[in-house]
Homo-oligomer: A and B are copies of this chain.
Amino acid sequence: MALDTATAAPSSPAAPDASAEPREPYFARLDRAARQNQSLLCVGLDVEPDRLPAPLRDLPLSDAIVEFNRRIVEATADLVACYKPNLAFYEALGPQGLEALRRTRALIPAHIPVIGDAKRGDIDNTMRKYAQALFDVYDFDAVTASPYLGQDAIAPFLSRTERGVYLLCRTSNPGSGEIADLDVGGRPLYLVIAERVQAWNSNHNAALVVGATYPQELARVRQVAPELPILLPGVGAQQGLLEESVQAGIDRQGGGLVVNAARQVLYASSGDDFPMAARQAALELRGRINRARGA
């Protein structure tokens, strides 16, 4: 296993011995959760303090965030394939935000995988540290990462065979084509990235991020990488085309995809009824995704 024990000090309280805890590969666990809940929905736990429902605002901020997440998870845990906190939303609150992230991760039922959306990308020496943070401290089952630095940089993530690694391919933002569409020998860069990620996938734990805002590009990615799992952000608040994207992104088995929604679920209501409103939003999304894939 790739956990570099030389980087974990004996005095560090934050690095459990991962090798003592063999676990099933991430994508097997994700598939099981998806089947059990008949769902390809991923709920993004991207909490914004000023959008917390009024009843929680009297709590200390980190308690309010954890409590909000707890109620969202309780209301949706039978409707999702996975959860995905984006680290930026927790880092923006300083060290107490990271403490809230750790508590949030711990309250998610063990059979539902959690993706740490961190989009890290650095040289290998540094990526070993990020792997320690994301996999050992916060125990994310999968993470997002940037492919720009190449295979040797991402190796400390991919060598953790029990974890999943979603690499940025064609992101959901309006300007994502500026770099990712650059013409590389007749093909856009994002397709070359998709091919590279396939080539890096000897541990069968690599995957791609493609925005639901670009169903045509998604279809091309699926053609080039018929078997790579895909994380599809950008439905809901970002106005991605859900049905079109699901049809473009599913693999031959009608899966191989998770669709992330955050704001649309978390903030379906700003009142006392927010857990039920979140559940209703998750139910509707799960249904739309399932109808689109014919499940």
Q: Which residues of A contact B (CB under 8 A)?
A: 6-15, 46, 48-50, 52, 57, 61, 64, 86, 88-89, 91-99, 102, 119-124, 126-127, 129-130, 132-133, 137-138, 146-153, 168, 171-180, 182-185, 189, 192-193, 196, 238
Contacts and interface: CB of A to CB of B under 8 A. Distances in A.
B89 A94 contact: no
A94 B14 contact: yes
Contacts of A50: 6-10
Contacts of A137: 91-94
A96 B185 CA distance: 47
Number of chain copies forming the complex:
2
Contact of A94 (B92, B97, B98, B182): B98
Contacts of A138: 94
A89 B132 CA distance: 9
B61 A9 contact: yes
Contacts of A151: 175, 178
Given A178-B196, A196-B178, A92 B152 contact: no
Contacts of A121: 119, 121, 146, 168
Nearest to A57: B11
Given A122-B88, A130-B92, A137-B93, A148 B148 contact: yes
Give the 5 A-B CB pairs with smallest separation, nearest first: A9-B49, A150-B178, A152-B175, A88-B129, A150-B175
Contact of A189 (B120, B178, B182): B182
A184 B188 CA distance: 9
Given A124-B173, A168-B148, A179-B148, A133 B92 contact: yes
A196 B172 contact: no
A276 to B, nearest CB: 24
B9 A126 contact: no
A61 B12 CA distance: 7
A88 B171 contact: no
Contacts of A57: 11
Contacts of A182: 184, 189, 192
A168 B149 contact: yes
B12 A49 contact: yes
25 contacts: A7-B48, A7-B92, A9-B61, A11-B57, A14-B94, A14-B96, A14-B97, A88-B126, A88-B129, A89-B129, A92-B132, A93-B133, A94-B98, A94-B102, A119-B122, A121-B168, A123-B173, A149-B171, A149-B180, A150-B179, A150-B180, A151-B175, A153-B171, A179-B193, A182-B184
